[in-house]
Amino acid sequence: MADANGGSSSQSWTSTQAYVMAAICLLVGCAVGYLLRGSFAGSSAPAPVAAAAVEQQGMPPAGMGGGMGQQMPTPAQLKAMADKEAAPLLEQLKAKPNDPALIAQVGNMYYDAQVFPTAIEYYQKALSIEPKNAAVRTDLATALFYNRDADHALAEFDHAIKDDPKSSNALFNRGIVKWQAKMDLAGAVADWELLLKQNPNYEQADKVKMYIAQVKKHANIKPGQKTDKPAM
């Protein structure tokens, strides 16, 4: 996971992040197509985490252990956990209410807990102060996509790329959304190929190349056409 405005890949998982990610992994598996944070090229979000990582945080994996059995946390439970995790930053905001980096950091806390509507609110507030921050706008777009608003997500990715044409993560994510939400395979490949042209040393270059190869395999398949090619 990563922080906007200079996060680090070495940071440890919070209990909220570990619990939520393990629950998601157990429910849907570790599928490809995860989007990346705007300001952090080395980590995907939401990122899968093994059940052992949750146990190290003192919390049983969802659906495993614990007398009655643990289930996927409800939105209210996620919000409560995120509120607790974000409390120190919210205290800082009282003294610095117009600090866009701090506001975006609070947004990250809610993003990591999968409380996307609240994350979106904080990202929008940060952008109202610093509108040309392409990294935060990419985070906003990503949160919008996970909040099932692909059209507005694409509009925000377009805005981020207009402000920073070499924003690699915005290009990466826009390609994912074009592919997964719109089935715009040609558009997805165009974004990823532009990304690699502009940034051949991109940390996720191998993943991008894999997506390009897989999408191109399916580009000529018409709806309803049978194929022995594996699904992406």
Percent of the chain with pLDDT over 90: 56
Most confident of 64-68, 115-119, 217-221, 226-230: 115-119
- Rounded Cα–Cα distance for residues 119 and 109 (Å): 8
**What is the CATH class of 74-218?**
mainly alpha
Closest Cα partner for 78 from 119, 39, 113?
A: 113
Q: What is the pLDDT of residues 77-99, one digit of tens each?
A: 888 988 998 999 999 999 999 99
DSSP string, the chain: ---TTT--TTPPPPHHHHHHHHHHHHHH-S-S--EE-TT-TT-EESPP--HHHHHHTT-PPTTSSTTTT--PPPHHHHHHHHHHHHHHHHHHHHH-TT-HHHHHHHHHHHHHTT-HHHHHHHHHHHHHHSTT-HHHHHHHHHHHHHTT-HHHHHHHHHHHHHH-TT-HHHHHHHHHHHHHHH--HHHHHHHHHHHHHH-TT-TTHHHHHHHHHHHHHHTTPPTT----SPP-
Q: What is the pLDDT of residues 112-157, one digit of tens each?
A: 999 999 999 999 999 999 999 999 999 999 999 999 999 999 999 9
Return the biggest CA–CA distance within the chain: 61
pLDDT band of 70, cuts 50, 70, 90: low
Question: Does the pLDDT value for residue 26 go beyond 90?
Answer: no
Q: What is the pLDDT of residues 45-64, one digit of tens each?
A: 433 222 222 223 333 333 33
Q: Is the pTM of this model over 0.85?
A: no
